[in-house]
A and B are shown apart, each in its own frame.
Chain A
Amino acid sequence: ETGVTQTPRHLVMGMTNKKSLKCEQHLGHNAMYWYKQSAKKPLELMFVYSLEERVENNSVPSRFSPECPNSSHLFLHLHTLQPEDSALYLCASSQGTANRYEQYFGPGTRLTVT
């Protein structure tokens, strides 16, 4: 199933680098999400977009900058990250942002900050 794709799958970056994560959904959904998954912690919601408009920003540091140019694409721009930002970053989409809609996830980007 390739409803939600993410690139790259793995990324190693230094603390001074700038990189971007890309997510694309092929499901015709209107809402997209970024989550952070760290070891031994619950999934942390980072950002929610509905019809390209950001509707949730969950107190995420400014070194993470999301961009949603259209309802099918979502980016997460990264700069001056810290080692504690190493995690699996998951993108998801859903028909709408109300919780009655299930979310469909991509395979994630495994990020390592050195």
Chain B
Amino acid sequence: DTEVTQTPKHLVMGMTNKKSLKCEQHMGHRAMYWYKQKAKKPPELMFVYSYEKLSINESVPSRFSPECPNSSLLNLHLHALQPEDSALYLCASSPGLGENTGELFFGEGSRLTVL
């Protein structure tokens, strides 16, 4: 199984809503990532978890709250978002930080629209 599965594929939410994005991988990878991608731009790193611990937070606003319940799951909790947060949110995994050739495996993304 070489897939990274993200749900939901599409999400529309109001600025007062609370929602979550979910990501799952069963490749035994120990590093998991959240990226944000605006239209026609490259992905921007948000968070990195290594061995279920938050290793990197790229100064992301607190309205985005990541969670790694176990080595296979990664969540991104959303609260009080702004319209400019609308984007494609990508989850990825890799065998480990600094342990491999650096290849990331991506999910198909969750398209978020904030009204």
| A-B interaction | no
B contact residues vs A (CB 8 Å cutoff)? none
Chain A residues within 8 Å of B, Cβ to Cβ? none
